[in-house]
Structure 1
Amino acid sequence: MLEVTGLAWIVTIGLIVLLLALDLILASVRPHRVGFREAAAWSVFYIAVAIAFGIVFWMIAGAEFGTEYFAGYIVEKSLSVDNLFVFVIIMTTFAVPEKHQHKVLTFGIVLALIMRAIFIALGATLLNLFSFMFLVFGLLLLFTAVQLFRHRDEDPDVEDNAVVKGARRLFPVSDEYDGGKLVTRLGGKRMVTPLFIVLVAIGGIDLLFALDSIPAVFGVTEEPYIVFVANAFALLGLRALFFLVKGLLDRLVYLSVGLSLILAFIGVKLILHWLHVDISNSVPEISTPVSLGVIVVVLTVVTVASLIKTRGDTSARAHAGSLRASRKAPSEQDR
């Protein structure tokens, strides 16, 4: 078991808060359109920070926990790319002005970190108290994988999101943006702007992704500290990554298939672990190095296959995938 001192937790959380503050300052002080060069520089920076942390952590905690960190980071990074698909859909659906998009993304990242910290604490407690939760998490991931594969050629309907619908019923919404304001006045009446609804939509999506990603990373490691830092470092670079790859996301046509395979694999891993612990120790378990290898291979294959597919078929377009059927099926042109 990994022993993490209170000081180590404080230093780690302090580093993450510092990086978040940097993102918040950049997003609020100087609203602007983020260009490719700026996005590339920040993406490289956040990936370098995550790798540097992993190397230091490997040297301090040992190879086993170091491997678990990198496996967890890759899982969360791959799931965060699917996050980006949905963020693109939200930005497009609500026509968010480009100069305010990085503010929305930073809000989404902060909210995602808070939600995942809560779910990490809850998940770790449940796993410590009830070993059958490994079975529950495994079955949840298998269900998610099947649903994601079934609806791999669809996009989630943001307007049909229950949280967004509820916000529209509770608050009068203006038709136009008012700079970066969340609340405005029209004809003497106080109303929320579309930017407020965008933040509500981002929050609802963050909640759904937290429900999927936490069981997935617990399938790689049972250590709450590793789960937390893997999530944090994967999410911190999301804002820059959005502006870097949003034009390339359409080419990742097999990403949903790859993610469904990864989630199914981790689900099976959790179920085997439960069988090994609670039923019989003769049941084999899947080691972390094997898990890391499978995840890397799947992501490499789906990325290469996607690029080959879109090079040969320029009409092919990627979809975020959905956990339930959309109200409106995708057109033949989108398939």
Structure 2
Amino acid sequence: MDITPTVWIITIAVTIAFFIYEFFAHVRKPHEPSIGESARWSAFYIGLALIFGVVIGIVWGWDFGGEYYAGYLTEKALSIDNLFVFLIVMTGFAVPKIYQQKVLMIGIVIALIMRGAFIAVGAALIENFSWIFYIFGALLLFLAYRQAFSHGDSDPANGKFMTFVRRHLPVSDEYNGDKLTVKKDGRRFVTPMLLVIVAIGFVDLIFAVDSIPAIYGLTEEAYIVFVANAFALMGLRQLYFLIGGLLERLVYLAQGLAVILAFIGVKLVFHALHVNELPFINGGEPLLWVPEIPIWLSLLFIAGTITVATIASLIKTRNDREAKDREQIEGEPVIAAKDESRGS
């Protein structure tokens, strides 16, 4: 895939322009977005991402187009999981809804910057060390295990990192608009808003570790990695307000992502064996009999896993809600009977 410096510059410039527009058009003035506004912009960004995949397919070939779509789906799913943690952070800090847009915007920009750095490092490592695929594969398998069995066990707003920050910074007890610091009695305090942004940045760092090895398991093209991440993050702010209530219903999202990460981890290990240069494995020779998982299979697997996890989550939450309603209905006659006996 031949990407000229001009294409890189234009892509990065357009990405920055989108975020600048987002800030001045939607975030600068604090407000809670309506469902209609969120739906329109979410549809716009998703549509734009899908169209860009067609452009990649036409200009550079559909193998790269398939890699882009697989990467975009994976990054979008991971970004939605990221939103769930953002929700926990903002709930933990009791961020007023009118300021949540700004927090999300800053968090998304931090995420893109961190992922950009990881993309550059990952590209350099892959270019020079084929054995890095073993490391990425093992890391993803570990992350898949953690995602499946440790999801939701910690609260980023009250974790060790934030405890350390609170201990070393003077923190005010209440928000002061969207200001990051406030002066009281001649002393400068940081507001909870700054703590939220620090927590979001810390979460972004953790998710970047998940995200970049995962997509490098689907493509070795740094350009595809970047644009897939950029499009996955675009519209994430609107998606937060659009599916805020739905996030809590996606009870199997963590397990679905764990399956995807494990699949990509295995794919990376297979690829590492296929291009092996480590002397203690097969004498430093590639294991050509090891299958290479084609991108079309990866795309189908990722899309299928996300679909199954979503449907299973919605079915479970619906069944749980119906069971709870039945318990309440069945319990009402008992309560009524007790009230009657007391009255008599």
**TM-score by structure 2 length?**
0.89
One-letter amino acid of the structure 1 residue matched with residue 168 of structure 2: L
User: What secondary structure sits across from 2:275 in the alignment?
Assistant: helix
Question: How far apart, CA to CA, are the structure 2 residues paired with 1:29 and 1:140?
Answer: 39
Question: How far apart, CA to CA, are the structure 1 residues paired with 2:159 and 2:228?
Answer: 28
1:291 aligned onto 2:289: no
1:161 CA drift (Å): 3.4
Write out per-residue CA displacement over residues 145-190 of structure 1, whole angstroms, 9 at most, x where no aligned residue: 11111124x3432134344233212210000000110000122211
What is residue 183 of structure 2 aligned with on the other side? 185
Question: How far apart, CA to CA, are the structure 2 residues paired with 1:80 and 1:135?
Answer: 25
Write out per-residue CA displacement over residues 204-229 of structure 1, whole angstroms, 9 at most, x where no aligned residue: 00000001100000000000000000
1:36 aligned onto 2:35: yes
Write out per-residue CA displacement over residues 80-130 of structure 1, whole angstroms, 9 at most, x where no aligned residue: 010010010011000101111000000001111100000000011111111
What is residue 226 of structure 1 aligned with on the other side? 224
The percent identity for this pair of structures is 53
1:237 aligned onto 2:235: yes
Does structure 1 conserve the Cα–Cα contact (< 8 Å) formed by 2:180 and 2:191?
yes
**TM-score by structure 1 length?**
0.91
Does structure 1 conserve the Cα–Cα contact (< 8 Å) formed by 2:157 and 2:196?
no
Aligned length: 314
1:171 aligned onto 2:178: no
Question: How far apart, CA to CA, are the structure 1 residues paired with 2:106 and 2:229?
Answer: 16
Question: How far apart, CA to CA, are the structure 2 residues paired with 1:206 and 1:315?
Answer: 36
Question: How far apart, CA to CA, are the structure 2 residues paired with 1:96 and 1:160?
Answer: 14
Does structure 1 conserve the Cα–Cα contact (< 8 Å) formed by 2:133 and 2:272?
yes
Write out per-residue CA displacement over residues 11-57 of structure 1, whole angstroms, 9 at most, x where no aligned residue: 11111111111111134432111111111111011111111211112
Question: How far apart, CA to CA, are the structure 2 residues paired with 1:181 and 1:315?
Answer: 44
1:132-147 equivalences in 2 (<5 Å): 132-147=131-146
What is residue 320 of structure 1 aligned with on the other side? none
1:197 aligned onto 2:195: yes
Cα root mean square deviation, aligned: 1.3
What is residue 313 of structure 1 aligned with on the other side? 320
Question: How far apart, CA to CA, are the structure 1 residues paired with 2:31 and 2:218?
Answer: 39
1:199 CA drift (Å): 0.2
One-letter amino acid of the structure 2 residue matched with residue 209 of structure 1: F
What is residue 93 of structure 1 aligned with on the other side? 92
Question: How far apart, CA to CA, are the structure 2 residues paired with 1:206 and 1:29?
Answer: 22
Question: How far apart, CA to CA, are the structure 1 residues paired with 2:16 and 2:122?
Answer: 23
1:251 CA drift (Å): 1.0
Does structure 1 conserve the Cα–Cα contact (< 8 Å) formed by 2:89 and 2:155?
no
One-letter amino acid of the structure 2 residue matched with residue 275 of structure 1: L
What is residue 211 of structure 1 aligned with on the other side? 209
Describe the shift of the 1:272–1:58 C-alpha distance in structure 2 as closer, same or farther (beyond 3 A).
same
1:304 aligned onto 2:311: yes
Does structure 1 conserve the Cα–Cα contact (< 8 Å) formed by 2:75 and 2:229?
yes
User: What secondary structure sits across from 1:313 in the alignment?
Assistant: helix
Question: How far apart, CA to CA, are the structure 1 residues paired with 2:233 and 2:96?
Answer: 22
1:46-61 equivalences in 2 (<5 Å): 46-61=45-60
Q: Which has the higher contact order (CA 8 A, sep 6+)?
A: 1
Q: Structure 1: where are the runs of 5+ without partners?
A: 317-335
User: What secondary structure sits across from 2:256 in the alignment?
Assistant: helix
Q: For structure 1, which segment, 194-203 or 157-166, has the greater mean C-alpha deviation from structure 2 after superposition?
A: 157-166
One-letter amino acid of the structure 2 residue matched with residue 306 of structure 1: S
Question: How far apart, CA to CA, are the structure 1 residues paired with 2:58 and 2:42?
Answer: 25
What is residue 327 of structure 1 aligned with on the other side? none
Q: For structure 1, which segment, 5-14 or 130-139, has the greater mean C-alpha deviation from structure 2 after superposition?
A: 5-14
What is residue 267 of structure 2 aligned with on the other side? 269
One-letter amino acid of the structure 1 residue matched with residue 7 of structure 2: A
Question: How far apart, CA to CA, are the structure 2 residues paired with 1:299 and 1:104?
Answer: 27
One-letter amino acid of the structure 2 residue matched with residue 270 of structure 1: L
Question: How far apart, CA to CA, are the structure 1 residues paired with 2:47 and 2:259?
Answer: 27
Does structure 2 conserve the Cα–Cα contact (< 8 Å) formed by 1:142 and 1:267?
yes
One-letter amino acid of the structure 1 residue matched with residue 125 of structure 2: L
Does structure 2 conserve the Cα–Cα contact (< 8 Å) formed by 1:172 and 1:191?
yes
Q: Structure 2: where are the runs of 5+ without partners?
A: 277-285, 324-344
What is residue 13 of structure 2 aligned with on the other side? 14
1:40-119 equivalences in 2 (<5 Å): 40-119=39-118
Question: How far apart, CA to CA, are the structure 2 residues paired with 1:169 and 1:126?
Answer: 38
